[in-house]
Amino acid sequence: MPSVPFVGGDTAKQRDLASDSQEAGSALTTNQGLKVSDDQNSLRAGPRGPTLMEDFHLREKITHFDHERIPERVVHARGAAAHGIFQVYEPLTDLTTAAPFQDPAKETPVFVRFSTVAGSRGSADTVRDVRGFAVKFYTEEGVWDLVGNNMPVFFIQDAVKFPDLIHAVKPEPHNEIPQAQSAHDTFWDFVSLTPESAHMLMWVMSDRAIPRSYATMEGFGVHTFRLVNAEGKARFVKFHWKPLKGIFSQVWDEAQKTAGKDPDFHRRDLFDAIERGDFPQWELGLQVIEEEDEFKYGVDILDPTKIIPEEMVPVRRVGLMTLTANPGNFFAETEQVAFHVGHVVPGIDFTNDPLLQGRLFSYLDTQLRRVGPNFAELPINRPLQRVDNNQRDGMGRRQINRGRVAYFPNGLAHGCPMHSPEAADAFRSYAEKVDGAKIRVRSDSFGDHFSQATLFWNSMAGWEKDHIVAAFSFELNQCTDVVVRQRVMDAILSNIALELAQGVAARTGIPLPEARVHPAAAGRPNADLPDAGLRVGRSPALSMDRVAEDIRGRKVAVLVDKGVSAEQLTIIQETLMDEEAIVEVVAPTAGTVQGGDGVLVPVTRAAPNAPSVVYDAVMVPGGADTSALQASGLIRHFLNEAFLHGKPIAAIGTGEQVLAAANLPTALKEEGVITGETLEDTLTLFVEAMRRHRFPQRNVAPV
């Protein structure tokens, strides 16, 4: 059967995948190529008799099915991915020889997998969690994996603690509850005894942990890496991905409900956006630090629980990544893709960050277990270059290595495959001088666990602080162990900011401690004093209190029922679609509704299948009569929920009566609720409001 070309994109990697891609042919065969005459009835002795062991087709089909699953990732099991390209803006030859950074004309193919961390493969997308942001660059010098997260720091400073952290956050082992959540005793028990997690806790309790979509998340390499140029000069670097759509999130109640109404929310959003040509984009940013400045910034750059604030070392935007095509097969690509922090190319190297060092071991190990010893040969993982070495055999080996020689040194194969000592594009480890006694200690420079947690708190807008207080309170109210609850308050929260501790105390009933209790908090500048300097000052770059440049890809529900003005509806649709928003017509029932002006209006989705949580904004057009809409409980619920989640809501003419029927405070002229304007003005104000994304003062849960 001929294989058909791979569809859905044309990066060099996708062309490479084409040779392994196949669509349905005409004749059904066994795996041995035998045409099958009947795939619906097994071979049996008489119509009602026993099935015969001889039925090789039945056995082949069933046994293959029995073996369809590979182990899910031990963390980051739930994910979605896409193909794309990376292009550098200008040559970075002064900094690095790394292939993607040499030539602005060059498109480096990438495959990017986003993920949650704690949940299983089938868990919901919108849980409170860190998101993985793993990028595989297929460079002409081999594969480079930048395996990052959507948060710039991590919970722990040493890889040896990773199994403990993950055991604590995963479902509790005796009853496998709860799924994909940190809101349980074992997680808070562990982190309250691990004060180095304080900074990361601020990130995961912020709205960064409930992103609106993958396209509105930042990405971070987390560790400090090295860039090395052709002269062998090295500099430290931190990698950032800056989303062109801005950084936006859901609110907690919305995220929880979305998890039930559409568990594939992020996966679907990414897939649909790419299908309609709304390609997600990120700029790659670099924070470059000269070797001589290693100790200049008051934090140890080897400590993965710390950032270097952007206000201290600006993020230089050096290139653009665009995701252009969906995978053709989820298992072959998204599931089998195997990332490894140790996959680097010449010009990029590691540092002694102890978390990074542990990861360098773990990722190769986990791929061997999960995907097998020849994982690197699989289509999605193989580099675009020829691979040649003396590694041989193993389960599922594809390559046929010909000849007698599988060793080095050899004379029989003329020394091939040979080393490349002179080649400029061969990888050489950076010759860092290392001299130390063998000891199990943590550097004192890793000791301040709270200043940057305070920095994060101080950098938040008022509504962001409210959301953080509410998140900590939600999690701690889920905990049943009073000792754990109190320890979080005493050992973590009270050392970050008094205001935070007080807020959580008010919502959880956990008593405030008499004084800061963790020794690591002693001796640092007092976070509550305004003159504490940038170490505990503010970093505006950390806040999500921003306005988007456009509303591309935002989803608007237009609520209609019989009597709606079809003319208004058309203008609304055209205006918003010009802005590249997605407009869906939602009515109490599916099919069509009779417009007030006699026109039949097609309905995109029926209200029972169109929960408010999957939309970013709501519009209610006017018309001859909106009484049917006013009478619908589903529609009233839709509007109230959208209101509570801070979404822009607009009503035109008689549409306002629907808001009134839903008991929404139109009279108060609540920010982000647009009424009493002409159609044209309403649309202008509505687009403006959508650029602000949410009106968070509405969704702060009452104490």
Up-side HSE of residue 289: CA atoms within 13 Å toward CB? 27
**162: contact with ligand HDE by CB under 6 A:** yes
3-state SS, residue 246: coil
Q: Which is nearer to ligand HDE, 355 or 618 (CB)?
A: 355
Binding mask 38-77 for ligand HDE (x = CB under 6 A): -----------------------------------xxxx-
Q: 195 near 491, Cβ under 8 Å?
A: yes
**How many residues sit close enough to ligand HDE to count as binding (CB under 6 A)?**
23
Does residue 147 belong to the site contacting ligand HDE (CB under 6 A)? yes
DSSP bridge pairs for 285: 240, 317
Among 159, 180, 202, 228, binds ligand HDE (CB under 6 A): 159
- C-alpha span between 15 and 83 (Å, rounded): 11
The answer to whether 507 is annotated as binding is no
Binding mask 585-624 for ligand HDE (x = CB under 6 A): ----------------------------------------
Rounded (5°) CA angle 639-644-646: 100
Candidates 280-288, 355-363, 384-392, 664-672: pick the segment binding ligand HDE (CB under 6 A): 355-363
Strand (E) or helix (H) holding 650: strand 649-651
Q: Given candidates 191, 209, 222, 468, which one binds ligand HDE under the rule CB under 6 A?
A: 222
| 673, 659 Cβ separation under 8 angstroms | yes
Q: Both ends of the chain: CA-CA distance in Å?
A: 66
Smaller CB separation from ligand HDE, 152 or 263: 152
Stretch that binds ligand HDE, among 146-154, 187-195, 258-266, 554-562 (CB under 6 A): 146-154
Residue 16, classed as helix, strand or coil, is helix
Catalytic (active-site) positions? 76, 149
Q: How far apart are CA 701 and CA 471, in angstroms?
A: 10
Question: Distance between CA atoms of 523 and 53, rounded to whole angstroms?
Answer: 76
Give the count of alpha carbons within 13 A of 652, CB side only.
27
CB of 358 to ligand HDE, least distance (A): 4
Binding residues among 360-419 for ligand HDE as defined by CB under 6 A: 362-363, 366
Q: Which of residues 109-128 bind ligand HDE (CB under 6 A)?
A: 113, 115
Q: How far is CA 570 from CA 415, 476, 580, 691, in A?
A: 73, 48, 15, 22
What kind and span of H or E run contains 132?
A: strand 131-139
Which residue number, 381 or 473, has a Cβ lying nearer to ligand HDE?
381
Which DSSP symbol is given to 154?
A: -
Position among 214, 265, 339, 350 found at the interface with ligand HDE (CB under 6 A): 339
Query: Omega into 280 within 30° of 0, i.e. cis?
Result: no
Q: Is 323 in the site for ligand HDE (CB under 6 A)?
A: no
CA distances from 180 to 125, 184, 243, 256, 313 (A): 9, 11, 25, 11, 35
Nearer to ligand HDE by Cβ, of 221 and 696: the residue is 221
Minimum CB–partner distance for residue 442 and ligand HDE (Å): 15
- Taking the complex as a whole, the smallest distance from the CB of residue 132 to ligand HDE amounts, in Å, to 3
Cα gap 323→110, rounded to integer Å: 8
Binding test (CB under 6 A) with ligand HDE, winner from 149, 216, 249, 351: 149
Is 370 annotated as a binding-site member? yes
Q: Which is nearer to ligand HDE, 359 or 507 (CB)?
A: 359
Q: Annotated binding residues for heme, as ranges?
A: 73, 113, 162, 359, 363, 370
* Chain contacts with ligand HDE (rule: CB under 6 A): 73-76, 79, 113, 115, 132, 134, 147-149, 154, 159, 162, 222, 339, 355, 358-359, 362-363, 366
